[in-house]
Amino acid sequence: MKPKVGFIGLGIMGKPMAKNVLKAGYELTVFNRTSSKTEELKRTGAKVASSPAQVARESDIVITMVSDSPDVREVVLGKNGIIEGSRPGLILIDMSTISPQVTVEINHELGRRGVEMLDAPVSGGEKGAIEGTLSIMVGGKKEVFERCLPILKSMGRKITHIGPSGAGQWAKLCNQVLASLNLLAVCEGLVLAAKAGLDINKVIEALSGGAAQSWALLNQAPKIVERDFSPGFLVKLHQKDLRLVLSAAESVGVSLPGTSLVHQLYNSIESEEGASMLGNHALIKSLEKLAGCEVKSQVSS
């Protein structure tokens, strides 16, 4: 029989991921702090719980997809948290991007109650969450990973067991180094093209077929050109990830000059009203300020 699944955190990523779990035929109980976000899942057959503790009582495996380390701590170990509704044998899969150190601490705390935990952060953005094609990097015991693989497969395509508790989060931080610098590269290229008076759409088309192709070029450059800064991934969450990366890098004595630069560039726009709630491709705005131009469809100055 399929395990009963619980899902906590129905934001940009969590909602489509939960829908895919439901579509794969799992009995699903959901919780979201802002309760209105549970409506759609309720209509499609999910049960709605009144707290993370109740989700845990109703489930064999609980998935969390919230924002940051303190939020995972709160929904897992806080008042009415998962731990209050837990029993030995329960499995927590935390798919949020958080600190590897905090992950290890929560895993240890849950272990004292006989609860297993995997850290399973994702890459692939809102599109990957909707299409069920996320890349999922997993830390935790191999046998727990294998038991959870069918559920992970309902949300992702490339699913890799990296190592023990925290290893999934370390891999995700590496992912954010690459993703951030790819996005910066795209933004710099687009600003240069705009300043040179080129047709930006033609430049994107030409570059998409060559060695400079990237996820950021294919998925984010077109939104920049359309001046569509609606969020797939919020600037404030990207900044949260960059803080996690830089602090983790410091803990192992590594310098990441490129990643620090992206963090500083976001700082330069974050002070503007509402900027932290834009999509992370708003990074272009910091380079546009420096270059004195705007990247858009028409040939621009």
Task: Please report, as ranges, the residues that interact with ligand NAP according to CB under 6 A.
Answer: 9-14, 32-34, 37, 65-67, 71, 74-75, 96-97, 122-123, 125-126, 232-233, 237, 241
236 Cβ neighbours under 8 A, 6+ residues apart: 270, 276, 277
Q: Which of 15, 47, 172, 285 is catalytic?
A: 172
Nearer to ligand NAP, 155 or 200 (CB): 155
**DSSP classification of residue 136:** E
Helices and strands of the chain, counted as H and E runs: 14, 9
CB 7 → ligand NAP: shortest distance, Å?
Answer: 10
CB 33 → ligand NAP: shortest distance, Å?
Answer: 3
Nearer to ligand NAP, 75 or 287 (CB): 75
Q: Alpha-carbon distance 133 to 178, whole Å?
A: 19
Q: Alpha-carbon distance 85 to 55, whole Å?
A: 8
Residue 2 catalytic? no
Nearer to ligand NAP, 75 or 221 (CB): 75
Q: Alpha-carbon distance 196 to 184, whole Å?
A: 18
173 Cβ neighbours under 8 A, 6+ residues apart: 100, 241, 244, 245, 248, 249
Nearer to ligand NAP, 69 or 286 (CB): 69
Nearer to ligand NAP, 216 or 293 (CB): 216
CA angle, residues 187, 188, 194, in degrees to nearest 5: 90
Question: CA nearest 20: which of 124, 158, 152, 144?
Answer: 152
CB 234 → ligand NAP: shortest distance, Å?
Answer: 6
Q: What is the CA radius of gyration of the chain?
A: 20
Q: Which residue has the closest beta carbon to ligand NAP?
A: 11
Retrieve residue 72's tokens.
Answer: 């995972």
Tokens 């240890």, located at residue: 108
CB 12 → ligand NAP: shortest distance, Å?
Answer: 4
Nearer to ligand NAP, 35 or 201 (CB): 35
Sign of the C-alpha dihedral computed for residues 239, 244, 245 and 247 taken in this order:
positive
**DSSP classification of residue 38:** G
Which of helix, strand or coil describes residue 122? strand
Kindly give the interhelix angle for 167-195 and 283-291, rounded to the nearest 10 degrees.
Answer: 30
Query: Do 10 and 34 contact (CB within 8 A), yes or no?
Result: no
CB 210 → ligand NAP: shortest distance, Å?
Answer: 26
CB 46 → ligand NAP: shortest distance, Å?
Answer: 14
Residues involved in catalysis: 172
